Homo-oligomer: A and B are copies of this chain.
C-alpha cells in the first residue's frame, strides 16, 4: 500500500504576519480526492537552558489562543533563511538576556503534522552568561529560574502544558539522569 498524497490544486486562503493558510485538493493512493487544510509556518527553535546551579530558564507569558498564562522554555520562530541554532541563541538572548557557551541539538519535532507544516528545533543550552533582555514590541514575559529537577516533577504532575517545553525537559532529564 502506497501512502503518498498528490497535490491537485492549492488555494491560498490567507498569507499573514506569522502563518499562512492554504486549502489543497489532493489525490489519495486509492484515487479518491480529498481536501487538506494546511497552516504554513516558518519553523521555530527553542532551548532548555540550564545554568551551573542546575536551574532551567523559563519564561512566563500570556498565550492569547489559550486564554491563559503559560510557563515555557525560551523559543521563537525562525527569521527568513535563519539557521535554527542561530535562532535559538538569538531568542535566548532576546527573551532572557542570556548567552550560552554550548548549544547542543536535541532533535527536531513536528508539533501538529496533521494540519501544520511547522518544524520545531530543540536545543540544550549550557554555560550561560547573564546580559540584557531585548524583547519585541508586542512581547511581554517574565523570566523564571526553576530547578530542572523540579521542572521534571512539574511535567509529571502535568503542571506544564506547552508541548515543546514538556518534550525538551524530558529529553534534558534523560541527559542529566533525572
Q: A: which residues have CB within 8 A of B? A: 1, 3-5, 13-14, 16-19, 21, 23-24, 26, 28-30, 32, 34-39, 41, 60-66, 69-70, 72, 106-120, 137-138, 140-142, 155-156, 158, 161-164, 166-167, 170-171, 174
Taking the nearest CB of chain B, how far is it from the CB of A15, in angstroms? 11
Given contacts A1-B142, A140-B1, A167-B166, contact A117 B66 (CB under 8 A): yes
In the bound assembly, the distance between CA atoms of A174 and B21 in angstroms comes to: 38
Give the copy number: 2
Sample of 15 A–B contacts (CB below 8 Å)? A4-B62, A5-B62, A14-B37, A17-B35, A19-B39, A19-B115, A26-B64, A28-B140, A30-B140, A63-B113, A63-B114, A106-B158, A109-B161, A109-B163, A112-B163
B138–A28 CB distance below 8 A: yes
B39–A3 CB distance below 8 A: no
In the bound assembly, the distance between CA atoms of A5 and B166 in angstroms comes to: 24
Taking the nearest CB of chain B, how far is it from the CB of A91, in angstroms? 12
In the bound assembly, the distance between CA atoms of A103 and B55 in angstroms comes to: 34
List of B residues within 8 angstroms of A14 by Cβ: 13-14, 21, 23, 37
In the bound assembly, the distance between CA atoms of A3 and B144 in angstroms comes to: 14
In the bound assembly, the distance between CA atoms of A1 and B13 in angstroms comes to: 37
Given contacts A66-B113, A140-B28, A167-B167, contact A3 B60 (CB under 8 A): yes
Taking the nearest CB of chain B, how far is it from the CB of A12, in angstroms? 11
